Each structure stands twice: as C-alpha cells, then as structure tokens.
C-alpha cells in the first residue's frame, strides 16, 4: 500500500516537472534583447526574448545558441560549463557587456571546451575575479579550471585586474583560442596566461595595455606557451618599460606578427622559441623576420592597416595560418597578392601579410588583388550611399577612403588603381 502511494506521488511529480520544463530540441536558438526583452518571457522567439544574457545561458543546454540583440548589458556572465554559442546579432561596437566594475565580464571556470563560444561583443569595465583576498584575475574574461573557450570578433577594452593578472583576458590553469579581437587599454596585461597549454591568438590587435610587471600586451607565465599568429601588438607599456609587447617564460610561437612601438625590448621569450616572418622592433632572430617601419595608415588614431609600400605586405608565411582562417580582421580575404610588391614571405602565392590586416589597393572591393569590372559594379551599386561603416563593411569596401560616403573620391581612387594596371 505504501509502495503504491510512493509510485503515485512520483507519477504526479514527474508529470508536473514535464509540464514545467520547456521542451527544447538540441540546437535551439534563445533570444536576448536588452531593450524589449523580459526575463519572465520564454526566450524562444525574438518577440519573447529574455532581457539578460545570463538568463539565456541559464536556460541553454549544450549546442544551443544564445542570440543577443544590440544593446548594453550590465552583467557578469558565467558560461557554467556549457558548450553553447553566445553571439551578437550585430557588430561588437553595438553589443556591449559592461562588467559594472563588479567582477569579470565573462567567466569560463567550469572546464568549458572550445565549443563554448563568445562571438561579437564589446567587453568593458570588468574588474576581474578574486582568486584570493587581494588579487583579481581576468577583468574582461576569466578562464580557469582547464577551460578552453573560443573568443571571436570581440573588442575587449578598458578592463582591469587590480593586484592580479590579465586585465583583458586571464587564462589561469586554462587556455583559449582568441580570433579577430581588439584588446586595448586594459591594465595588468592585455592577455595573461599561466599553467595551461597556452593561448592561441590570431588576427588580433593588442594595443595600449599596461602591466605592473612585464608583458603589457601578452604575459605568459610558467607552464604556458602561447601561439600568436598574424597579430599587431603595439604601444603596450609595463612598469619596467621593457619587454612590454610579449613576455613569455616557458617558450612561445610568434608568426606573421607586427610587434613594435614599445619602450625597450619588445619581445622576451625564454625557452623554446619560434619567432618567424614577423616585424619586431629591435629585431629578433628567426626566419623571415624584419625590423622596419610597417607604414601603418594612422597608428595615432588606431588605424593599423598597411599603406602602399609597407614591408609587411606579402611578407608572412602562408603555411603558418591555420586552414580555418580565411579572412583578416576586416572580414576580407586573408590571402591577397599585391602585384606591385615583390613576395618576400613564404608559401605559394598569394602570400599572407604580417599583422591583422591584409593589404589590397584602393578600389579592389572584393579583395581579389585586381581592380576590375566587378569592383566598378559594386561601387555603383552603393553610389552616393551615406551610411557606410563597419556594420556594412564600409559599403562592401566601395567606400575606400572610409569617410562614410561612396562618392567621386572613391571612384577616382578606383580609376587610378585600375589605370595603374592591377587588372592585367
């Protein structure tokens, strides 16, 4: 009799729980909208979006996508070990996670795999996670406990790790793969890692970060060996005013990078070192390395595109770029040959450039290395458009001088390069 009562109770409880739990297939999209959402919604349609990203993560299960509309999210997120994608619907500039000075903007501390993906956000005003009574790690992003997340297309700026490490990103007993990100003006390192296999950093700008010891740009402590490919690492500083670009204790790999404009030594790596096809101020031993003005368009205003004649054009090693990297930080083709530049890099043409941006001449809207009829068609399809910007790839690159408008200046630029013979 008692047994039968228990069974009845369990039957009632099970039916109740089934009714409470929303049935969601794997790979569900969960919507978040700071402006029109509400955490009391179900999150299953754009019209019934949640208001906070954390509510989306809480609700998600492995292989789901949390799709985040434009807005400012004052939150401190925890991925909770889930293999989910948290992705913005727009560019990073318009989808902001503000840590509110109340902790790390985003934490991966539960053994997350590379299938935990953060894509397309600005992370700012994070203040890190306390790892003991006084030290905070990971102002923008804190990775710990063997986690190894994927960070794509983010701007990580103005975060801090007081007394600790990794103002922008800290991977401690953890790693991360960081691609197409801008990591700037964070304090106590742009990226810091230790006791993990080492961060992989590709197509990133790492500029104007500060450290109270060494390695304002990237600091790699004991046990971690970072792999840094096609990055532009400039203008970082450290308390010691030296070894401010990259500082690595347990070896490191630096390929196709530009590391310059630091006071004192730019790169210090102890242990197994592979620095190649990179432009390092002060020079560095290794195949294909150079020490020359990279001819940035306007470093003073943070524009690290390459000018005509840059020694970084066609000077990288194409074989060093992982297969899944097909575009540069602008989203344009990663491999473009500049016909006017003798190839000094390695691999079969087109040869990749050093740094985050691939050079192509003005007017080559599709980045195929030529100004031809298709580029004119693209330009005229945007003719007199005044809304060009990062959100529409500068009007599909028809706005070659990036002043927001497609007009006669862009057309003249295109004609000049067309007449110059880039269309063979």
Piece of 102-110, 191-199, 229-237, 370-378 that binds Ca ion (CB under 5 A) = 370-378
Min CB(336)–Ca ion separation in Å: 5
Contact present, 232 and 356 (Cβ < 8 Å): yes
Q: Packing angle between helix 408-417 and helix 373-381, nearest 10 degrees?
A: 180
Question: d(Cα 364, Cα 371) in Å, to the nearest integer?
Answer: 5
| Shortest distance (Å) from residue 351 CB to Ca ion | 5
DSSP 174-223: ---EEES-EEES-BS-SEEEESSS--EEES-EEES-EESSS-SSEEE-TT
Q: Does 328 bind Ca ion (CB under 5 A)?
A: no
DSSP β-bridge partners for residue 137: 129, 165
Q: Is 21 exposed, middle or buried (0-12, 13-18, 19+ CB in 10 A)?
A: exposed
213 vs 409, which CB is nearer to Ca ion?
409
Contact flag: residue 75 with Ca ion (CB under 5 A):
no
Minimum CB distance to Ca ion, residue 329 (Å): 14
User: Does the footprint of Ca ion cover residue 281 (CB under 5 A)?
Assistant: no
Least separation in angstroms between residue 337's CB and Ca ion is 5
Which C-beta is closer to Ca ion: that of 219 or that of 334? 334
Strand 71-74 relative to strand 77-78: parallel, antiparallel, unpaired?
A: unpaired
Q: Which helix (H) or strand (E) holds 377?
A: helix 373-381
Q: Provide, rounded to whole angstroms, the least separation between the CB of residue 316 and Ca ion.
A: 7
Question: Which CB, 366 or 396, lies closer to Ca ion?
Answer: 366
* DSSP labels, 85-128: EEEESS-GGGEEEE-TTSS-SEEE-S---TT-EEES-EEES---
- Total residues in contact with Ca ion, by rule CB under 5 A: 17
**Out of 115, 213, 343, 396, which residue is the one contacting Ca ion (CB under 5 A)?**
343
Our CB check for Ca ion shows the closer of 155 and 414 to be 414
69 binds Ca ion (CB under 5 A): no
Among 65, 180, 200, 341, binds Ca ion (CB under 5 A): 341
| Window contacting Ca ion (CB under 5 A); options: 104-112, 145-153, 241-249, 405-413 | 405-413
Task: Pick the closer one to Ca ion by CB: 184 or 341.
Answer: 341
- The shares of helix, strand and coil residues in the chain, as percent rounded to the nearest 5, are 15, 25, 55
* Greatest CA separation for the chain: 95
Q: 307 to 326, contacts with Ca ion by CB under 5 A?
A: 314
Stretch touching Ca ion by CB under 5 A, among 25-33, 108-116, 222-230, 330-338: 330-338
State which residue, 303 or 403, has the beta carbon closest to Ca ion. 403
Which residues, at least 6 apart from 387, have a Cβ–Cβ distance to it below 8 Å?
395, 404
CA dihedral 368, 373, 374, 377 (to 10 degrees): 140
Q: Are 363 and 400 in contact (CB under 8 A)?
A: yes
237 binds Ca ion (CB under 5 A): no
Q: According to the binding rule CB under 5 A, does residue 403 interact with Ca ion? A: yes
Rank residues 50 and 277 by Cβ distance to Ca ion and give the closer one: 277
Nearer to Ca ion, 310 or 370 (CB): 370
Contact region with Ca ion (CB under 5 A), list: 52-60, 145-153, 163-171, 356-364: 356-364
- Residue 337 within binding range of Ca ion, rule CB under 5 A: yes
Q: Residues 93, 366, 413, 416: which binds Ca ion (CB under 5 A)?
A: 366
Choose, by CB under 5 A, the member of 208, 234, 364, 394 that binds Ca ion. Answer: 364
Of 404, 393, 380, nearest in space to 333 by CA: 393
What residues make contact with Ca ion under the rule CB under 5 A?
314, 336-338, 341, 343, 353, 364, 366, 368, 370, 375, 399, 401, 403, 405, 410
């Amino acid at each position: 009799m008692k047994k039968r009562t228990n069974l009845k109770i369990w039957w009632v409880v099970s039916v109740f729980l089934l009714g409470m739990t929303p049935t969601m297939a794997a790979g569900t999209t969960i919507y978040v909208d700071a402006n029109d959402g509400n955490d009391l919604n179900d999150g299953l349609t754009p019209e019934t979006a949640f208001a906070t990203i954390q509510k989306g993560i809480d609700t998600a299960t492995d292989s789901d996508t949390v799709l985040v509309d434009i807005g400012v999210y004052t939150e401190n997120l925890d991925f909770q070990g889930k293999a989910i994608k948290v992705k913005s619907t727009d560019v990073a500039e318009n989808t902001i996670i503000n840590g509110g000075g109340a902790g790390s903007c985003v934490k991966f501390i539960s053994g997350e795999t590379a299938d935990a993906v953060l894509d397309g956000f600005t992370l700012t005003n994070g203040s890190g996670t306390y790892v003991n009574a006084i030290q905070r790690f990971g102002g923008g992003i804190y990775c710990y406990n063997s986690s190894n997340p994927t960070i794509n297309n983010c701007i990580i700026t103005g975060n801090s790790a007081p007394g600790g490490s990794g103002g922008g990103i800290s991977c401690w007993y953890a790693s991360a793969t960081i691609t197409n990100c801008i990591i700037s003006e964070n304090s106590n390192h742009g990226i810091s890692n230790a006791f993990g296999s080492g961060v992989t950093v590709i197509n990133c700008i790492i500029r104007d970060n500060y450290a109270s010891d060494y390695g304002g740009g990237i600091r790699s402590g004991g046990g971690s060996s970072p792999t840094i490919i096609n990055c532009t690492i400039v203008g970082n500083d450290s308390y010691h005013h030296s070894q401010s670009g990259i500082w690595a204790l347990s070896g490191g790999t630096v390929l196709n990078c530009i590391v310059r404009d630091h006071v004192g030594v730019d790169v210090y790596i102890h242990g197994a070192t592979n620095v190649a096809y990179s432009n390092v101020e002060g020079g560095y031993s290794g195949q294909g390395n150079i020490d020359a003005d990279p001819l940035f368009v306007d470093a003073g205003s943070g524009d690290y595109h390459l000018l005509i004649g840059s020694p970084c054009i066609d000077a990288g090693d194409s074989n060093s770029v992982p297969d899944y990297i097909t575009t540069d930080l602008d989203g344009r083709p990663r491999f473009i040959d500049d016909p006017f530049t003798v190839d000094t890099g390695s691999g079969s043409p087109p040869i990749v450039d050093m740094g985050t941006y691939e050079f192509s001449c003005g007017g080559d809207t599709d980045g195929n290395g030529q100004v031809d009829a298709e580029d004119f068609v693209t330009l005229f399809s945007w003719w007199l458009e005044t809304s060009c910007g990062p959100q529409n790839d500068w009007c599909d690159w028809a706005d070659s001088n990036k002043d927001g408008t497609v007009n006669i200046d862009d057309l003249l630029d295109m004609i000049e390069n067309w007449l110059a013979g880039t269309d063979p």
